[in-house]
Amino acid sequence: MKTTKKHEVRTTMENKLIVTMNRRVISLVLGILMLLSMLGLAACSNDAKSASSEEKTKNESPQDIEQQADPEKSVSENSNTNEDEIKDDTSSQADTSSDTSEIVEGNFKIGISQFAQHGSLDNCREGFLLGLAEQGFVEGENLTIDYQNAAAEMAVASQIAETFVGKDYDMIMAVATPAAMHAYNAAMDKNIPVIYSAVSDPVAAELAKPNGESVGNVTGTSDALPVEAQLKMIREIMPDAETIGILYTTSEANSEATVKIYEELAPKYDFKLVTSGIATSADIPLATDNILTKVDCLSNLTDNTVVESLPTILDKAFAANIPIFGSEVEQVGLGCLASEGVDYITLGKVTGYMAAQVLRGEKTANELNFETISESFLYINSATAEKLGVDIPQSMSDRALENFSEIGVLQ
């Protein structure tokens, strides 16, 4: 019995030991499985982070990557960028301050009366404002401009002048002869200075004395055409031409004065002159048809009424294969064959300089003689030459200030 009990006890202990060992093995296996599972999750997480990093790197610019690699460099570059921006802002403020320091103190009002709407007169007005700005009178800052256009109507030009006088402006600026004459007549007894531009003959317009002195509180600049240079140019382009035609407005003193110069100089270059006077723009179509049957070419003046109708005249001249020679660059751009003319931007700027002297009180208008721009420039339209079958000498093409390759171009 004792032996049996001992055997039973031993058997029981062995069974317990086996169970314990099995439990430990199972626990160890479970631990290993859990460890493997954790390692797998970590690997997946790293793969995901790596993929996200690669995607972020693709989306980043090379500069961003470089900044991450060298943060000190990034800070330095950002600092330099900010400094550059500050310098730019400072420079801009300095420029503005510099401009402001040149502005003349005060508030000035100028009425601008332009007789007609066309390129040369527009350029004249633009140049005038540029000239004033260079002298410290800037529109929108210390200068107010009241611009009016008479649309080539004498009565309207007179009304504009009277209105400006009624508003007691500091100055009236008149563009073209009719506007200047009406402005001076209206302001003559009102102590308002009149500064004109694009007046071909101030003496003939009774705005100046024969010696160039002013007749009153009025002065300005003349766009007297270089008639002799124009005739010489026409002869060079058309060696066989005999007759030149001119259309002009009989009520424009500037045109009548220029026609007289043509009459005096045309024989010198073996030309006969045919002229046709008109009263209004309504007369132009019929007058153009008539004169084109009598001439080899037309030479255009700075006649305001005629220039305003230039597109109509050009159409008729092209149909008749007759060249028209202009008097300034805008007319050549529209389709005139060539021109020896003045630069109207420059003319306007000179006018602006004269006006600035008067506004500052350095001079009165009647103390300033009118000024004339004597230098002329050659302008050519090669598209017009081709259309008309005219050969332009190479020497002329080489010296032309501008050669248009299209018809109907406005500067």
pLDDT number for residue 373: 85
- For residue 254, what pLDDT is reported? 86
Which of 42-51, 120-129, 254-263, 400-409 has the least mean pLDDT?
A: 42-51
Torsion of CA 266, 234, 329, 198, to 10 degrees: -10
Distance CA 340, CA 327 (A): 6
What pLDDT score was predicted for residue 269?
97
C-alpha distances in angstroms, 297 versus 282, 312, 319, 361? Answer: 22, 16, 13, 49
pLDDT digits (tens, 9 = 90+) for 158-201: 999 999 999 999 999 999 999 999 999 999 999 999 999 999 99
Contact 213, 369 (CB under 8 A): yes
Mean of per-residue pLDDT scores for the chain: 82
Q: What is the pLDDT of residue 61?
A: 42
**pLDDT value at position 158?**
97
Closest alpha carbon to 347 in 129, 145, 159, 157: 129
Report yes or no on whether pTM surpasses 0.85.
no
Tell me if residue 169 falls in helix, strand or coil: coil
327-346 residue pLDDT tens: 999 999 999 999 998 899 99
Contact present, 162 and 184 (Cβ < 8 Å):
no
Q: What is the pLDDT of residue 410?
A: 57
Return the pLDDT at 102: 85
Amino acid (1-letter code) at residue 164:
F
Helix then strand then coil, % of the chain, to nearest 5: 55, 15, 30
Measured distance CA(160)–CA(167) in Å, rounded: 11
* Whole-angstrom distance, CA of residue 298 vs CA of residue 308: 16
pLDDT in tens, 77-104: 433 433 343 333 333 332 323 333 489 9
How high is the pLDDT of residue 19?
38
Could you tell me the domains of the chain? 108-222 (3.40.50.2300), 227-341+376-404 (3.40.50.2300)
pLDDT digits (tens, 9 = 90+) for 26-69: 445 445 554 554 554 444 444 444 444 444 444 444 444 344 44
Which residues 6+ apart lie within 8 Å of 375 measured at CB? 342, 343
pLDDT digits (tens, 9 = 90+) for 124-148: 999 999 999 999 999 999 999 999 9
Kindly tell me the burial class for residue 202, based on how many C-beta atoms sit within 10 Å of its own C-beta (0-12, 13-18, 19 or more). buried
- Which tokens hold the place of 334? 């529209």
Q: What percentage of the chain has pLDDT greater than the value 70?
A: 75
pLDDT in tens, 349-394: 999 999 999 999 999 999 999 999 878 999 999 999 999 999 999 9
- What is the mean predicted confidence (pLDDT) over 264-274? 98
